[in-house]
Structure 1
Amino acid sequence: MTREELNELLQTDENFRIERTASTSNMDKFQEAICAFSNDLPGSGKKGYLLIGVNDDGSVSGLKVDDALVKKISGIRSDGNILPLPVMSTEKVETEKGDVLAVAVTPSLFTPVRYRGRVFVRIGPRKDIASAEEERILTERNAAHLATFDVMPCREATLDDIDTDIIKQQYFPQAIDTETLETDTRSFTEQMASLRLYNKQYDCPTMAAIILFGKQPKYFMPGCYVQYVRFEGTTKAGKIINEKEFKGGLTTLLPRLESFVADAIVTQRPEEISLLREKTVTNYPGGALRELLMNACMHRDYQSNTPIRLYQFDNRIEIMNAGGLYGEARPENFPHVNAYRNPIVAEAMKVMKYVNMFNRGISRVQEYLQTNGSKPAHFNVNKLTVFEVVVMDANVTALERTHDELRTKLAQLDDNFKIRVKSLICNINRDYYSARELQLRMNSAQTPLELRTSSARYFMVHILKPAIELGWIAPLYADTPHHPKQKYKLTELGITMKVILSEENHEI
Structure 2
Amino acid sequence: MTNYTDAELEAMLADLESDRAERKESFSGDVPTKVREAVCAFANDLPGHRKAGVVFVGARDRTGEASGLQITDELLLRLADIKTDGNIVPPPSMTVAKRALRGGEMAVIIVEPSDSPPVRFRGRVHIRIGPRRGIASAQDERILTEKRKAGDSPFDIHPLRSATLADLDRVRFENDYLPAAFAPDVLEANDRTLEQRLAVTKMVDGADTAVPTVLGILTLGKSTRDFIPGAYIQFLRIGGQSLGDPVTDELAVDGAISEVIRRIDDKLESHNRTAVNITAGPREERRSLYPISALQQLVRNAVMHRTYEATHAPVRVYWYDDRIEISNPGGPFGIVSIENFGQPGVADYRNPNLAEAMRVFGFVQRFGFGLAIARRALAENGNPPLELDVQSSHVTVAVRAAPQPAP
Task: Output the TM-score relative to the length of structure 1.
Answer: 0.75
2:55 maps to amino acid: L
Verify: 1:6 aligned to 2:9, yes or no.
yes
Verify: 1:64 aligned to 2:70, yes or no.
yes
The match for 1:367 is 376
Give the structure, 1 or 2, with the largest relative contact order (CA under 8 Å, sep 6 or more): 2
Picking from 8, 14, 18, the partner of 1:15 is 18
Uncovered stretches (5+) of structure 2, i.e. residues with no partner: none
Percent of pairs with identical residues: 37
Equivalent residue of 2:275, what SS?
strand
Contact 2:116 2:148 in 1 (8 A): yes
State the distance in 1 between where 2:138 and 2:52 align: 24
The match for 1:45 is 50
Picking from 22, 34, 44, the partner of 2:39 is 34
Equivalent residue of 1:139, what SS?
helix
Verify: 1:154 aligned to 2:157, yes or no.
no
The match for 2:232 is 225
After TM superposition, list the pairs within 5 Å mapping 1:63-102 onto structure 2: 63-95=69-101, 97-102=103-108
1:131 Cα deviation from its structure 2 partner? 0.9
Verify: 1:246 aligned to 2:253, yes or no.
yes
- The structure number with the bigger radius of gyration is 1
Call closer, same or farther: CA 1:46–1:241 in 2, change over 3 Å: same
Contact 1:2 1:93 in 2 (8 A): no
1:256-275 C-alpha deviation (Å, 9 max, x unpaired)? 21112112x21112135448
State the distance in 2 between where 1:50 and 1:319 align: 40
1:68-99 C-alpha deviation (Å, 9 max, x unpaired)? 21111111111111111111112222257432
Which is helix-richer, 1 or 2?
A: 1
1:217-259 C-alpha deviation (Å, 9 max, x unpaired)? 1111111111111112111111121111111011122112111
Equivalent residue of 1:260, what SS?
helix
Contact 2:165 2:210 in 1 (8 A): no
The match for 1:452 is none
The match for 2:367 is 358
1:59 Cα deviation from its structure 2 partner? 2.6
1:245 maps to amino acid: A
Provide the alpha-carbon RMSD of the alignment: 1.8
The match for 1:442 is none
Contact 2:52 2:111 in 1 (8 A): yes
Aligned length in residues: 397
Equivalent residue of 1:280, what SS?
strand
Which stretch shows the higher mean deviation, 52-61 or 33-42?
52-61
Equivalent residue of 2:99, what SS?
strand
The match for 1:440 is none
Contact 1:90 1:102 in 2 (8 A): yes
1:194 Cα deviation from its structure 2 partner? 0.9
Equivalent residue of 2:236, what SS?
strand
State the distance in 2 between where 1:93 and 1:384 align: 37
1:367 maps to amino acid: R
The match for 1:325 is 332
1:425-455 C-alpha deviation (Å, 9 max, x unpaired)? xxxxxxxxxxxxxxxxxxxxxxxxxxxxxxx
The match for 2:182 is 176
Uncovered stretches (5+) of structure 1, i.e. residues with no partner: 400-491, 494-508
Verify: 1:392 aligned to 2:362, yes or no.
no
The match for 2:287 is 281
Verify: 1:104 aligned to 2:110, yes or no.
yes
Task: Output the TM-score relative to the length of structure 2.
Answer: 0.93
